[in-house]
A = this chain, B = another copy of it.
Amino acid sequence: MSSPPRIGLLGGTGIEGKGLALRFAQAGALVVVGSRARERAAAVVQELNQRLGHESIHPAENREMLAQSDLVLLTVPFAQAADALDTYRNDFRHGLTLVDATVPVKSKTTPGPGDLPEGSGSQFLAKRLPEGVHLVGAFKTIPAHILAELEVPLDCDVFVCGDSEPDKARVMDAVRVIPGLRPVDVGGLDAAATLERMTALAIRINRRYKSKGARFRVVGI
């Protein structure tokens, strides 16, 4: 095994970013929480490191984070994702693997995956990236707040999709760093259309079963 990758979170101060930062840091990865404002990142990181009991998460302004990270996870809400990509477009280094953990969950004011002409949020976002930056969909079906509950075993699968096999393999290796998560390769980026709907299905299941952490596991592979 090589040394753990430096994981950067683009817009990492929300619930999704916090949860992933905690799980990766707990597993021994180097984590940089990026934010538009360094102070915002610093405040969140202080809270997270306190919960962990060590100082293994670092704060940064998003551009600083991009310069320091091997793998960058996009963890803003989907509604802000396109703007974030446009803002940092020139800061993505050639060859960067960008992990799309966002999900367009349909509401009165926001589109669902079926409302996007590209078919999914990931395909919509991929079109906005400069050449040489590859988007990989992952973590879409993992409930954010379960990530943040460190005492809860995750015990589920992370569906990983993307059109570049080497980038996908890199993301699958990163997923394996977190105990209780198994990466499952579901093919090209177009699979995001299904994964994003599965997130909406999990939200429905949570509502019916008065649960908060419905997530998926594949049996039989």
List chain A positions with a Cβ less than 8 A from chain B.
Answer: 114, 119, 143, 146, 155-156, 159, 184-187, 191, 193-195, 197-198, 200-202, 204-206, 208-209, 211-221
* A150 CA to B146 CA, complexed, in Å: 36
Contact yes or no, B217 A221, CB < 8 A: no
3 closest A-B pairs by beta carbon, nearest first, are A213-B220, A194-B197, A209-B221
* A214 CA to B217 CA, complexed, in Å: 10
* A143 CA to B159 CA, complexed, in Å: 19
* A219 CA to B221 CA, complexed, in Å: 17
Please, which residues of chain B bring their CB within 8 A of the CB of A220? 143, 146, 156, 211-215
Contact yes or no, A201 B208, CB < 8 A: no
Q: Which of B146, B201, B216 contacts A217 (CB 8 A)?
A: B216
Closest chain B residue, CB of each to CB of A155: B219
With A193-B197, A194-B194, A194-B197 already in contact, the answer to whether A219 and B216 are too (CB < 8 A) is: yes
Please, which residues of chain B bring their CB within 8 A of the CB of A205? 184-186, 218, 221
* A185 CA to B206 CA, complexed, in Å: 10
With A184-B205, A201-B191, A209-B221 already in contact, the answer to whether A216 and B214 are too (CB < 8 A) is: no
Please, which residues of chain B bring their CB within 8 A of the CB of A184? 205
* A220 CA to B149 CA, complexed, in Å: 13
Contact yes or no, A216 B215, CB < 8 A: no
Please, which residues of chain B bring their CB within 8 A of the CB of A156? 219-220
Contact yes or no, A186 B215, CB < 8 A: no
* A208 CA to B219 CA, complexed, in Å: 14
Contact yes or no, B221 A211, CB < 8 A: yes
